Structure 1
Amino acid sequence: MTWIGMTHWCWLRAVGVFLLLFVGDLGGNSEVCSLCCIFLREDRGLNCTWAGNANTQYTLHLQSLKFNINKPSTVLNFTSLLGRTSILIPRKSLTKNDNYLLKLKHGAEEESYYFTYDDADKNLLIEPPLLSDVMFSGESDVSAHISWPIPSDNLHVAIRYQNLADTNSKEWIYADPSDIQHDNYEISDLEPFSQYDVQARYESNNTLRSLWSESRTFWTPEQAPVGPLDVWRNFDMKQFVILYWKPQHCQYPGSDKWNYIVTYIHGGGSNALKTPYREPLCEVKLPANSTHMCVSAQNNNGTGPPTCATTVCLDTKPLDVEIRVWLNVTQGVTVWWDESLNERCEDLTYLVEWTQLTEGGSKMKNWARRQVGKQNVTLPGKLDPQVPYQVSLFTLCQSDCKGPVSTIMFYSQEGVPSSAPNFSVLPLSSTDIFISWNEIPVWKQKGFITSYTVYLNSTVDSQRHPVSARNLSISGLLPSTVYEIWVTASTAAGEGTRGEVKVFHTKGIY
């Protein structure tokens, strides 16, 4: 049995005062105390430490309470170095079994407690256990064996450990005291290929005798890949298929040496290829009309189970499904959709795909899956500003796929267009013209185009015409007059750059 804990408070009773220890389980060696001293091994003196400002200089006053009529008690002063919240009192300044008063001073503040210089004094802490290197056992279940020197009869050891790769929970797991042997402990049911911290401390009859030890950090052994991969594919290219998957254990060192085995059927024959790890997404290009496309992770310990991609996605005509995208309070992007598809499926899953629209076509960025009842997803990572993204919603039922049932384009942050429309001028008469222009390429728009502005200049006057469409008829121009004309595009962020300036001459009156 193990316990998961957050914070512990311990009170140590000293002669005439209370010494308060705060044990902070925030990960690593975060344990501190208001003022405490640790009896060092091999009779090397005391290491006195406290909770305070490391940029402040403190003074420790040590006074022996042993009465000697011929030799008045002296007070020894020790000053800390800047940046340190501990002082080593050497053995030569201490006498075994003598009683002492220790005071910590900084300005008008003072803290003190009494102790007897002896490793059996419960008002002194002792050094924590010295943990051995971690040994591993078990072929199927990963178990770690940790040991330490045999303590004295009145002491027992407490153990705690945590999975450093578990970003959802940074809590320590406390070992059941009944499972801890006198000089060793076996941590079982560990995750393979994961990083752990383990710490130990001495206790005596529910009394704290040491702080937690320095962490012993270790990696559990690598095993053959387990579990399915998250596999997806593109549906907007006819000449080939791009198969995507998210690499396993991408956060662990060494996983970048993994390979992936891709199998598929094309032209009536089975094919296989090996591709290396890539981050953040792995991908491979396969011939068009490939079927039975599956991916397996592979390392030095074996090959994992295959995960297969959807071969086709039916009913690609968009349905009337509302989808919204917005920037949330954490500056992430949230996607929401109206769950009104009425699909007859016991295990319906939504898949939200987002791609970046570039000059070379759509570039897959990522995807996320959600079960029925969860109608939103926050896209992981930060999306680039002024870059067009397209969000598509698919529905998955076992091996069947439908979609995209809805598609929307969005920007995480809009800017002004980096290009101007390419326009043409058609004279209609000596006083009338018709201007039309093409849409700016989406990767140059930098945002949603809200309006266009047509500018005309002549030696007589200047004109400015805002317009929402991509064409404009202008009347009332002067015959036989030279005009300059240009067009700009605007987004919510403002007006874009001015492009080509064209010169035209209105017809004369005959």
Structure 2
Amino acid sequence: MAAVTSVWFLCILMVDCTFFIEGLLVTLSPPKCYIPCDDSSCSADIICTWDSNHDPSISLNNTYTLHWEDYKNTVTGHSAVIQRNYFTSHSELRVWIQTQDQDGTVFNSKTVSFNTADIIKPSPPEIKEVLSSQEPIEIHWRSPCDWLMLEVGHCEVRHRTEAETAWTEQKEGGVSGSYTLNNPEPCTNYSFQVRCACGTSMMSGWSKVHVIRSAERAPIGKLDIWRDCDMLRPSSNCVLTWKRLPMSQARGHILGYNLTLYYNNGTNSVLNMSAAESVCMICNEVQCYHNSSLKDVKFVSFNAYNALGMTAPSHLAVQTPVTITDQRAIDLKMNRNNLSVSWNATWITDNISEFVVQYKEAGSPLGKGLDWVRVNTSLTKITVKGQFKNYTAYQVSVFTVSDHMVQLYCTDIIHFVQGIPAKVPLFKVLTYGTTHVTLLWETVLMSVHNGVTPYYQIGYGKDNVYNVSAYPQMENRTFTLTNLTEDHNYKVWIKAVNQAGSGPNTTVLFKTQDTENIGTFIQLFFVLLGAGLLLCCSWFCRKNKTCPIAFLDKKIPDPHNSNIIREMKYQINDSLAWLCIPATEQHPKMSIIEIVNISQGAFTSKMADQMNCDIGDNIVEEGRQKTQCGSGKEEYSKMIDSDEDKNEEEEDNDTCSSSSGGDHAGYEQHFMPTELDIKAVEERERTERSWDEMM
């Protein structure tokens, strides 16, 4: 008996729970009923609206029934009308909603009761007058109750600034139809809305948004200025960048900026940049930068101004950042919305005023993709909020700032998400030999390599793979492969590697040199080099009448010093020329004399001197013979070239003597064949002809 009772009780409980669950799953909100009014009159009918929330798995009929007193109105939507013929004015009315599912289960909303005189809903008021030229802001409106000849009720006002998302509501109980906002933020756009009730009726809807700009005042505070430099190059340019003032500090429309530049040489210059017309200033919603270089600038002073005043000047020492030599660790962690930066600062001295943590999209141009945060020296860790991009490199740097210097403390690169590195853009052979090759490649740019590239892999074949560090990131790199086989073809590849994997290969083909070919090449090189030098010297001697090579001669040989030339002159112009011809010399064959072209003026001058020479006695001086025919026949290394020697020649031109055939200091001894040389040549020719006849 007890078991049967327990089962019966459990069944009842399950049924009750089922109805309870269905009641929770299907809920109908009580109806909201009102009599709508426009600017001049009110409607005679009542409009009721409601909402229904239920589980989508429960199938309901598409029809709802509005019940009031003994009447009902079935509709397919979420609103229904109670016509004036079916209710009594200024009387109580009870209203509810009913629906059912396809199984016939009925669902009812709660019943609401109201007096039909209290559900009048007037139209929204209209804001008519605004006083905002001075503080505070004052708005005025006209209540719709005046149009409907109804008792004026209370009104509500709400407002917010452009930067705010939530409204600030102020409930006004008077009938003045105005509202005053005290202490508004200067030069700020405020949005206002108003709604009113008539007597004890319902509140109207909110009026249209009315925007009012508060009065302008002089700016306050200072600009947050910084400079953006290419830190990976030791002598890089920098540009000045700054954050735009928030409206709470600008307190008006910023008309422009005053920039004073103090140079290293002690001079300075002042620039006025109009916010509307300056072409050297580039801005976005948050920041601006001056697109002129800060090269040779030591210090800057900067402020902003509006129509009523200007900010206090901001100062910044411009120092090209230099990488710290000792290794100070910086720890970086990043997710999509946050960047955490920590560093070691136990060494910080008293003259350091603050840290600046800068993060920049690697590879972006100066002034762009940059942001920074100023940090007190008591802190060594911060978290920066922002929307960070996937596959984008961010260079995070910590700077120390003092009164006279900005110094790079530590820097590193981080990605939120890394991707496969890009292909190495350039890979080529720099030099090669018989058993080695030096390879050069261009590093993958940080803006395209999808991650930090810690190293590159270089290899050939299956077993020859080398890992090469990628630091520093921005410099072209070289690597030498050794122990190669001479006169052998090689195919070498390179690829960038990071946490996400390795990028595509870039290959280069080359052939090592052969030892024998190298020897032949070296010999040929020196032969060609010697021939080239001789050709150059020959051309130079012909053009300049001088020869630059010491072992050939330091002076130009003068044919007028030749006895053969003088003999020709004497034979033609002088009947006594035979007295000046050495008896030991015979007439050489003129056909074998090489004619050297010299300037006509020089030859004429020399010939004139020789032709005016008189025959004199031979003078023996210091144990050797000397001819006083204008050329002064000493050793040819002492040929007449200077004006002093020419003067001596003019003094001695009255006499003429010839040296004997044994004198080896004359022109012929240096530059012309002797009689013995000519006889030797003739003897050799006769011998060769004799052998030819015998053969």
TM-score (norm 1): 0.70
- Alignment partners' CA distance in 2, 1:164 and 1:303: 24
Alignment check: 8 A CA contact 1:355 1:362 kept: no
Equivalent residue number for residue 625 of structure 2: none
Equivalent residue number for residue 35 of structure 1: 31
- Alignment partners' CA distance in 1, 2:354 and 2:65: 65
- Alignment partners' CA distance in 1, 2:203 and 2:81: 17
Say what the alpha-carbon RMSD is for the aligned residues.
Answer: 4.2
- Alignment partners' CA distance in 1, 2:440 and 2:463: 18
Equivalent residue number for residue 113 of structure 1: 111
Q: Quick one: percent identity of the two aligned structures? A: 14
Alignment check: 8 A CA contact 1:388 1:442 kept: no
Equivalent residue number for residue 50 of structure 1: 50
Alignment check: 8 A CA contact 2:330 2:411 kept: yes
Deviation at 1:89, TM superposition (A): 4.6
Deviation at 1:505, TM superposition (A): 4.2
Partner amino acid, structure 2, of 1:137: S
Higher relative contact order (CA 8 A, sep 6+): 1
Alignment check: 8 A CA contact 1:479 1:507 kept: yes
- Alignment partners' CA distance in 1, 2:129 and 2:357: 43
Q: Does 1:262 align with 2:258?
A: yes
- Alignment partners' CA distance in 1, 2:254 and 2:211: 21
- Alignment partners' CA distance in 2, 1:374 and 1:60: 67
Equivalent residue number for residue 391 of structure 2: 386
The structure 1 residue matched to 2:410, chosen from 396, 406, 411, is 406
Equivalent residue number for residue 332 of structure 2: 325
CA distance 1:499–1:411, change in 2 (3 Å) = same
- Residues 452-486 of structure 1 show CA distances to partners (whole Å, capped at 9, x for unaligned) of 333425xxxx54514244636454x6665422222
Q: Does 1:163 align with 2:166?
A: no
- Alignment partners' CA distance in 1, 2:300 and 2:416: 36
- Alignment partners' CA distance in 2, 1:38 and 1:371: 61
Alignment of 1:428-439 (within 5 A): 429=434, 432-438=435-441
Deviation at 1:350, TM superposition (A): 2.9
The structure 1 residue matched to 2:90, chosen from 88, 91, 97, is 97
Q: Does 1:130 align with 2:129?
A: no
Structure number with higher helix proportion = 2
Q: Does 1:223 align with 2:216?
A: yes
- Residues 41-99 of structure 1 show CA distances to partners (whole Å, capped at 9, x for unaligned) of 33313343334469996634143x3xxxxxxx44233442xxxx545555565441344
The structure 2 residue matched to 1:210, chosen from 203, 206, 209, is 203
| Aligned length, in residue pairs | 440
- Residues 213-257 of structure 1 show CA distances to partners (whole Å, capped at 9, x for unaligned) of 356342424625623332222355968652212234599xxx9x9
- Residues 139-197 of structure 1 show CA distances to partners (whole Å, capped at 9, x for unaligned) of 2x34242434186668433433333413xxx444343757x664322122222323434
- Alignment partners' CA distance in 2, 1:34 and 1:332: 46
Partner amino acid, structure 1, of 2:411: T
Partner amino acid, structure 2, of 1:440: T
Which is greater in Rg?
A: 2
State the secondary structure of the residue aligned to 1:119. Answer: helix
Partner amino acid, structure 2, of 1:504: K
Alignment check: 8 A CA contact 2:289 2:367 kept: no
Deviation at 1:499, TM superposition (A): 1.8
Q: Does 1:232 align with 2:226?
A: yes
- Alignment partners' CA distance in 1, 2:510 and 2:482: 15
- Residues 422-455 of structure 1 show CA distances to partners (whole Å, capped at 9, x for unaligned) of 35376565xx435544461433543222343334
- Residues 245-294 of structure 1 show CA distances to partners (whole Å, capped at 9, x for unaligned) of 2234599xxx9x95422331453453423244720421112654444431
Q: Which structure 1 segments of 5+ residues have no match? A: 1-32, 66-72
Deviation at 1:132, TM superposition (A): 1.6
Alignment check: 8 A CA contact 1:149 1:183 kept: yes
Q: Does 1:482 align with 2:489?
A: yes
- Alignment partners' CA distance in 1, 2:490 and 2:163: 68
Q: Does 1:344 align with 2:347?
A: no
- Alignment partners' CA distance in 1, 2:428 and 2:492: 10
CA distance 1:49–1:74, change in 2 (3 Å) = closer
Alignment of 1:180-191 (within 5 A): 182-191=176-185
- Alignment partners' CA distance in 2, 1:128 and 1:350: 59
The structure 2 residue matched to 1:334, chosen from 336, 340, 346, is 340
Equivalent residue number for residue 26 of structure 1: none
TM-score (norm 2): 0.54
CA distance 1:440–1:240, change in 2 (3 Å) = closer
Equivalent residue number for residue 311 of structure 2: 305
Alignment check: 8 A CA contact 1:160 1:198 kept: yes
- Alignment partners' CA distance in 2, 1:374 and 1:92: 77
- Alignment partners' CA distance in 1, 2:408 and 2:236: 19
- Alignment partners' CA distance in 2, 1:360 and 1:138: 44
CA distance 1:363–1:436, change in 2 (3 Å) = farther
Equivalent residue number for residue 59 of structure 1: 64
CA distance 1:74–1:89, change in 2 (3 Å) = closer
The structure 2 residue matched to 1:447, chosen from 442, 448, 451, is 451
